[in-house]
Amino acid sequence: MRLLIIGPQGAGKGTQAALLCEELSIPHVSTGDLFRANIGEDTELGRRAQGYMDAGELVPDSVTQDMVADRLAQPDAADGFLLDGFPRTTAQADWLTDFLAGRGWSLDAVVLLTAPDEVLTERMLGRGRADDTPAAIATRLELYRSETAPLIDHYGDRVVAVDGVGEIAEVHRRIVDGLGLGSTRRG
């Protein structure tokens, strides 16, 4: 399957994406993780992204889209993938549609993970990431509302909205059910 997972920071996207990818045997393609890996390895790409990430701002589309194109061209993504953190704007979504169409691909579904603001804030304060400063958190939340939330309408009936509040396994089960997959792991 070719999937996206979207939702505000702190909704649990990373955790749920990892579980879903394990279940479906598809790669988890997180643009935030790819940027962080590049920063860790001090690559040219990492150096270009760092300032934007520290501020909670979007890395320019040209940089981000090249990185996604490279990743989705890897053999392990040939039969499916779950994109996490991309697209974050309708411009990125349009680019993705064209990129996928060029390969004869399209998205099967978009998982939208939701949670109330209090839960989001609490989870973010607990994760201790380098770019989780109050200013960067506020900027990311504002960008989510203005730039990313419009993707929900953009993807229309491909969106599967899932309540992200609850035990990790329970939320996972909701996602699997929402995608109509039926789970073998209902623990």
Q: Give the interface with ligand AMP as residue ranges (CB under 6 A).
A: 9, 31-32, 35, 52-53, 56-59, 64, 85-88, 92, 140
Residue 177 CB, nearest approach to ligand AMP (Å): 25
* Radius of gyration for the alpha carbons in the chain, expressed in angstroms and rounded: 16
Closest residue to ligand AMP, Cβ-based? Answer: 32
Specify whether the CB–CB gap between 139 and 56 falls below 8 A: yes
Q: Of 32 and 164, which has the nearer Cβ to ligand AMP?
A: 32
Q: Where do we find the tokens 């974050």?
A: 88
CA-wise closest residue to 14 among 176, 180, 168: 168
Whichever of 24 and 96 has its CB closer to ligand AMP, that residue is 96
- Residue 33 CB, nearest distance to ligand AMP (Å)? 7
Task: Supply the minimum distance, in Å, between the C-beta of residue 60 and ligand AMP.
Answer: 8
Burial (CB count <10 Å: 0-12, 13-18, 19+), residue 6: buried
Of the two residues 37 and 73, which places its CB atom closer to ligand AMP in the complex? 37
The residue (of 12 and 173) whose beta carbon lies closer to ligand AMP is: 12
For residues 124 and 130, what is the distance between their CA atoms, to the nearest angstrom?
11
For the bound state, the minimum distance from the C-beta of residue 65 to ligand AMP, rounded and expressed in Å, comes to 9
Task: Kindly state the smallest distance separating residue 55's Cβ from ligand AMP, in Å.
Answer: 8
Please say which residue, 45 or 59, places its beta carbon nearer to ligand AMP. 59
List the one residue out of 17, 58, 52 whose CA is nearest residue 144: 58
Q: What is the dihedral of CA 69, 164, 59, 152, to 10 degrees?
A: 70
